[in-house]
Amino acid sequence: MDFVLKVTICLTFIVTVLVSAEPVLAKRWPKAGDYELNSSENEDLVKNLPGQPDVDFRHYAGYVTVNEKYGRALFYWFYEAMTRPEDKPLVLWLNGGPGCSSVGYGATQEIGPFIVDTDGRGLKFNPYSWNKEANMLFLESPVGVGFSYSNTTSDYSILGDNFTANDAYAFLHEWFLKFPSYRRRTFYIAGESYAGKYVPELAELIHDRNKDPSLYIDLKGILLGNPETSTADDWRGLVDYAWSHAVISDETHKIISRSCDFNSSDPWSNDDCNDAVGEVLKQYKEIDIYSLYTSVCMSNSMESSDRVMQVMMKHTHKMMPRIMSGYDPCLDDYARAFYNRPDVQKALHVSDGVRIRNWSICNISIFDGWADSNPSVLPIYTKLIEAGLRIWIYSGDTDGRVPVLSTRYSLNALGLSITKAWRPWYHQKQVGGWFQEYAGLTFATVRGAGHAVPIFKPSDSLALFTSFLLGETLPAVR
């Protein structure tokens, strides 16, 4: 069979998604041997990224169409592992928000090999990039985030958890058609903050659809950092953490403890609760909620930070106040400058370099109009644990947005038995944090880290990531 015919066969296997909750229309994946070379993979190879440090690994960027009928396309950036990519697993990274970019945060500020420089004109090499240990795939999801888009305006009004999971699932199937050598690779999903909803929901969808052998994805586990998990526990933890770290007074905490029932369908109908929670958010406007002990950014990004805090204060009937789940240091300004450069967009295959796309690190409209949010993914945890998936959760202990207390409250609700008691873990002969192993789940703190852990503790986070991939207990001796 000649090359052109093989590529034609490859491109015929299209996975489509109906809007919102409608099921994926799955089709057979090609069998091993259906491919020799995929031309679309070569087309997405990034060759001339401005300011890129010299590296020995390949990376790819571009679009994957997840729904042809509605014109939905998701942008990805994929980095092969620095060494022996053929022997290492594939990891999908997701940032949350909802509405924030995995490229702008995960790839550019946290765990990617290229960190945007302080003038927005170039990139610095990240010696603690997670592609030292895995092939890393970053996805801007859902449509409307970063470079991802839909040609159907109504799609933007129905975005939510279920919509996002279905499109991400369709993306994976289509992406494997571009990169067939990864189709049977060991696969993990990782993410932070609101991706605490995205990741388990996508994992559950993969698990359920894996009953069809032709759609099988070799999902082995999930890794979550400071994740939103259970709305009631998240809010209770946020309030208690603010009190225990002297952000709010004893009196404010007592009022919330007495008047707020975060498990109710509408805790904000109580005026005392409403006003006291408003006081918590007011005090957090004075510091960085994502990192209690670092300075706030005083550059031009203050304008965007103020808009985020206004969203924090906004809530409607039966909807808890939302707080944007991204980290907003001055690096956001640099990322914005870099990704709106015509030459950068051309190198990443998102524009022709003339008619550029407007890129922002977070889409406030998506955040504000989020239509479907799962109040708790704890039942999904139980399901995935029973399925034997590896589940690790880590928590930077200076984060006030999804603090360590929120995660501990959520995990306690699972009622898992403890297999290894609370103890410190070590990195470079220092305490990296503390951890506890449960039947089916590992929980670890990262000492001195804020919301986006790898920004604050890059070496420690890489060590934790390596232990997760190996399925090894974190080092418990110096």
- SS3 state of residue 373: coil
Residue type, 286: E
Q: Which of 451, 460, 461, 467 is catalytic?
A: 451
300, 251, 318: which is closest to 279 by C-alpha? 251
Residue 131 contacts residue 79 (beta carbons within 8 Å): yes
Residue type, 164: T
Q: Which letter does DSSP use for residue 442 in this model?
A: E
In angstroms, rounded to a whole number, what is the distance separating the alpha carbons of residues 415 and 421? 15
- CA Rg value for the chain: 22
In angstroms, rounded to a whole number, what is the distance separating the alpha carbons of residues 190 and 224? 6
Residue 411's CB is within 10 A of a number of other CB atoms, namely 20
Residue type, 103: V
Q: Is 173 a catalytic residue?
A: no
In angstroms, rounded to a whole number, what is the distance separating the alpha carbons of residues 459 and 323? 28
What is the distance, to the nearest Å, from the Cα of residue 419 to the centroid of all Cα atoms in its chain? Answer: 28
Angle between helices 231-244 and 404-414 (to 10 degrees): 140
Q: Which of 141, 150, 193, 291 is catalytic?
A: 193
Q: Is 253 a catalytic residue?
A: no
Q: Which letter does DSSP use for residue 103 in this model?
A: I
Q: Which letter does DSSP use for residue 269 in this model?
A: G
Token pair of 84, please? 């022996």
Q: What b/e readout covers 273-291, taking b as 16+ CB neighbours within 10 angstroms? A: beebbbbbbebbeeebbbb
256, 240, 246, 250: which is closest to 408 by C-alpha? 240
Q: Is 193 a catalytic residue?
A: yes
Token pair of 305, please? 């930070």
- SS3 state of residue 223: strand
In angstroms, rounded to a whole number, what is the distance separating the alpha carbons of residues 416 and 382? 9
In angstroms, rounded to a whole number, what is the distance separating the alpha carbons of residues 48 and 62? 14
Residue 176 contacts residue 28 (beta carbons within 8 Å): no
Q: Which of 167, 333, 397, 399 is catalytic?
A: 399
Write out the catalytic residue numbers. 193, 399, 451
